């Protein structure tokens, strides 16, 4: 669970970037301590919503995607209140939500309430390709680098072994059943976008899937940094329909992955 809370950085960077657009003058809210028993939980829009028995009151708290169980005791970073908040990811309106950075041992990031509201409700933007587009300035070396990556997608890579091993085509075909489950996939690194929202974004191909259906390329986030052209075995947790706002939207994404050659 610990490694998942770091995903908060993905969302809060957007909040910081959009704060001046949607209300930089907002007053800093009063922080609310958060600790208690999980009464109810649900995921939506790339976030986990927790109904928490916080002392004498029950409150809804929004945190980064985290594996949470009913009955679990949580100690979260202090958060701030937002009233009459609508979550598009859940298609639900909350009379009151406390926004928290996640588990208490995570790094705290300052933000404005208006910026967080914009991130949760969705900020207009392109529907795909944002990480690659933002990485473009760093890739000054090479228009030629794109050609080998395109060719590499067609090269067959031997499937990983083990109970949780899948080809990329199988991951797309079984993505609903694999939601929040561990997966292992072996593939060739065809593109790497470094240090975007404190994560590396890696595109894998193994020669399976369909380019027409866009199921031949699997996006993985990780702190590891493989090289383009490397054949690697990746293990991580699969999520469906993640929308980070500002056009960062993925039908299938493997998060917090570990790489082995």
- CB neighbours (10 Å) of residue 44? 18
Taking only the tens place, the pLDDT of each residue in 219-232 is: 999 999 999 889 99
Range ranked top by mean pLDDT from 14-18, 29-33, 139-143, 214-218: 214-218
Where does the pLDDT of residue 147 fall: very low under 50, low under 70, confident under 90, or very high at 90 and above?
A: very low
- For the domain spanning 130-260, the CATH number is 2.40.50.140
Residue 157, pLDDT above cutoff 70: yes
Mean pLDDT of 174-188: 95
Q: What is the pTM of this model?
A: 0.47
| pLDDT higher than 50, residue 211 | yes
Contact 31, 99 (CB under 8 A): no
Residue 16: pLDDT band by 50, 70, 90 thresholds? Answer: very low
Question: What single DSSP character describes residue 57?
Answer: E
Q: What does the alpha-carbon distance between residue 1 and residue 236 come to, in Å, rounded to a whole number? A: 12
Mind listing the pLDDT tens digit for each residue in 81-138?
888 888 877 788 889 999 888 877 654 444 444 444 444 444 333 233 333 333 322 2
Encoding tokens for residue 108? Answer: 């705290």
Neighbours of 91 (CB within 10 A): 9
Q: Is pLDDT above 90 for 43?
A: no
**CATH fold group of domain 2-121:** OB fold (Dihydrolipoamide Acetyltransferase, E2P) (2.40.50)
Say how far apart CA 103 and CA 211 lie, in whole Å.
39
Work out the number of other CB atoms within 10 angstroms of the CB of residue 207: 17
Mean pLDDT, range 38-49, rounded to an integer: 85
Confidence of residue 242 (pLDDT cuts 50, 70, 90): confident
Q: Do domains 2-121 and 130-260 have the same CATH topology?
A: yes
The candidate with the shortest Cα–Cα distance to 222, out of 259, 182, 177, 167, is 259
- ∠ CA 95-101-102 to the nearest 5 degrees? 95
Q: Residue 235 — very low, low, confident or very high, per pLDDT cuts 50/70/90?
A: very high
- Residue 161, pLDDT score: 92
pLDDT, the chain, mean: 74
Domain boundaries, the chain: 2-121, 130-260
Helix%, strand%, coil% for the chain, nearest 5: 20, 40, 40
Which residues contact residue 143 at a Cβ distance below 8 angstroms, ignoring those fewer than 6 apart? Answer: none
Q: Is residue 14 within 8 Å of 249, Cβ to Cβ?
A: no
The stretch 193-200 carries a mean pLDDT of 78
């Amino acid at each position: 669970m610990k490694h998942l809370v770091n995903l908060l950085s993905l969302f809060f960077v957007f909040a910081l970037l959009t704060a001046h657009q949607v209300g930089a003058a907002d007053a800093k809210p009063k922080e609310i301590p958060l600790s208690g028993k999980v009464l109810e939980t649900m995921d939506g829009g790339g976030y986990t919503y927790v109904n928490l028995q916080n002392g004498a009151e029950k409150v809804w708290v929004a945190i980064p995607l985290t594996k949470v169980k009913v009955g679990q005791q949580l100690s979260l970073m202090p958060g701030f209140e937002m009233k009459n908040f609508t979550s598009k990811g859940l298609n639900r309106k909350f009379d009151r939500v406390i926004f928290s950075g996640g588990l208490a041992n995570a790094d705290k990031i300052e933000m404005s309430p208006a910026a967080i509201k914009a991130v949760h409700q969705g900020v207009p933007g392109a529907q795909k390709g944002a990480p690659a587009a933002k990485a473009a300035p760093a890739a000054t070396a090479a228009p030629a680098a794109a050609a080998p990556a395109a060719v590499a997608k067609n090269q067959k890579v031997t499937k990983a072994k083990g109970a949780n091993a899948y080809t990329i085509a199988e991951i797309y075909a079984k993505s609903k059943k694999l939601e929040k489950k561990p997966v292992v996939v072996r593939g060739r690194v065809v593109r790497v976008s470094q240090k975007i929202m404190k994560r590396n974004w890696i595109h894998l191909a193994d020669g399976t899937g369909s380019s027409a259906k866009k199921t031949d390329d699997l996006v993985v986030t990780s702190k590891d940094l493989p090289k383009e052209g490397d054949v690697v075995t990746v293990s991580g947790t699969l999520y469906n329909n993640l929308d980070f706002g500002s056009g960062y939207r993925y039908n299938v994404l493997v998060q917090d992955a570990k790489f082995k050659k």
